Amino acid sequence: MSTRQPKKMLAIQILDVLRRHSDADHRLSQQQIAKLLEEEHGTKADRGTIRRNLLNLIDYGFPIEYSEIGRKSPAGEDSPIYADWYIQPPFEDSELRLLIDSLFFSRYVPPKAGQEIISKLKALTSRHFKAGVSSLSGIHEQTLTNPQLFYTLQILDEAIADKRQVSFQYNRVSLDRKLEPRRGRNGQVINYIVNPYRMVVANGRHYLIGNHDRHDNLAHLRIDRITEIAMSDKPAKPLHALKGMDGGFSLPQHMAEHLYMFSGPSVHVTFSIAKDMMDSVVDWFGLDFKMKELDKEQMLVTVRVNQAAMRYWALQYARYVTVLTPRELVDEIRADLGEAVRRYAGASDRAE
């Protein structure tokens, strides 16, 4: 037995119909809205009542669009027809797809949580939106996820806003491919006390930029490796109290200098690289570097970057890049390459 909905609910029901059935490519007439109201809400309303409620919703600030067709009444007065009603969604389809894809291809969002968020995102638009994710199931099957990730993000966000310390366990991946907490020499699980400052995403991973309370420098911690987090009542150490932070902290500069989120000092590095590698240089270092042409094929780049990160990057691009300064870094890379050659040769001999 259906129950007639009170007239006070009509505007909300019209809003629901528009949100679920309309967009810029699928507009509704007042007659179609009336039909959907009766089918889905058991509410009967004439076109005049529907139009009045629609205009009230617009006056209230809802992003409802429509077409106005000029018409004269039999008495010669203006009596326009309103048609093609739809509501603008909070996200364009392309924006929503970008958000959904980023969740679906994240290696660190737990699958169940990711699917729940995707469902919530899809509810923000009409039924006509095609997420296109049905064929992507199983993307997480070969990844290690942390079920506490979202709770950790929430606590860190609160702690950063309130400028309070956090404590947690920091995990490594065990040989059986599970997270296990780091332990001290005595075998006891280490409880980390950290002053949190920023959360960032680098190379597809979430990092906490913070400070181990017993030290005076910045550290980068993988958030997906954090478990058993708790917020402390103790205030966090001010960022300007850390070594090298008295002049302020620039997050864009910090991210450009720490390619792989390695901790440690930054230095000025000069290297030569092929001109056709400019895309990679900008991808990794941003735009804050100096460059000059050496010849038709090579260019000279000078950039300030974390030394450990530059060492790793130079080895990754060893075929294309030659580090020239500083000398200490040059020697480290040569030693790494020499060791790699020896190991490769030894492995080949054993294989034979």
Q: Output the pLDDT for position 132.
A: 56
The tokens of 218 are what? 């910045």
Residue 2 has pLDDT above 50, yes or no: no
Residues 123-142 have a mean pLDDT of: 63
Residue 52 has pLDDT above 80, yes or no: yes
* DSSP secondary structure letter of residue 295: S
Residue 37 binned pLDDT confidence (cut-offs 50, 70, 90): very high
Residue 203 has pLDDT above 70, yes or no: yes
Q: Residues 270, 324: contact at Cβ < 8 Å? A: yes
The tokens of 38 are what? 């009766």
Residue 138 binned pLDDT confidence (cut-offs 50, 70, 90): very low
Residue 286 has pLDDT above 90, yes or no: no
CATH fold group of domain 7-87: Arc Repressor Mutant, subunit A (1.10.10)
Residue position matching structure tokens 């990730």: 149
Q: Output the pLDDT for position 1.
A: 38
7-87 and 266-348 share one fold:
no
Percent over 70 (pLDDT), the chain = 89
Please state, in angstroms and rounded to a whole number, the distance separating the CA atoms of residues 121 and 286: 31
Please state, in angstroms and rounded to a whole number, the distance separating the CA atoms of residues 50 and 34: 7
Q: Which residues are within 8 A (CB) of 172 and not within 5 positions of it... i.e. 6 or more apart?
A: 179, 180, 182, 225
Please state, in angstroms and rounded to a whole number, the distance separating the CA atoms of residues 70 and 75: 15
Which range among 70-84, 141-155, 239-253, 270-284 has the greatest average pLDDT?
A: 270-284
Counting beta carbons within 10 angstroms of the beta carbon of residue 15, is it exposed (0 to 12), middle (13 to 18) or buried (19 or more)?
Answer: middle
If you average pLDDT over every residue of the chain, what do you get?
A: 85
Q: What are the residue boundaries of the structural domains of the chain, listed by start?
A: 7-87, 93-131, 149-249, 266-348
What 3-state class would DSSP assign to 300?
strand
Neighbour-count burial for 292-316, b at 16+ CB within 10 Å, e otherwise: eeeeeeebebebbbbbbbbbbbbee
Which range among 80-84, 100-104, 178-182 has the greatest average pLDDT?
A: 178-182
Model pLDDT for residues 296-319, shown as the tens digit of each residue: 899 999 999 999 989 989 998 888
Q: Compare 70 and 25 and report the one with higher pLDDT.
A: 25
Q: Residues 181, 171: contact at Cβ < 8 Å? A: yes
Percent over 90 (pLDDT), the chain = 47
Please state, in angstroms and rounded to a whole number, the distance separating the CA atoms of residues 311 and 328: 10
Beta strands in 134-243, from DSSP E residues, in sequence order? 164-173, 179-181, 192-202, 205-212, 219-222, 226-235
Q: Output the pLDDT for position 11.
A: 93
- pTM greater than the 0.95 cutoff: no
Residue 269 binned pLDDT confidence (cut-offs 50, 70, 90): very high
Residue 97 has pLDDT above 50, yes or no: yes
CATH fold group of domain 266-348: Alpha-Beta Plaits (3.30.70)
Q: Which of 130-144, 230-244, 310-324 has the lowest mean pLDDT?
A: 130-144
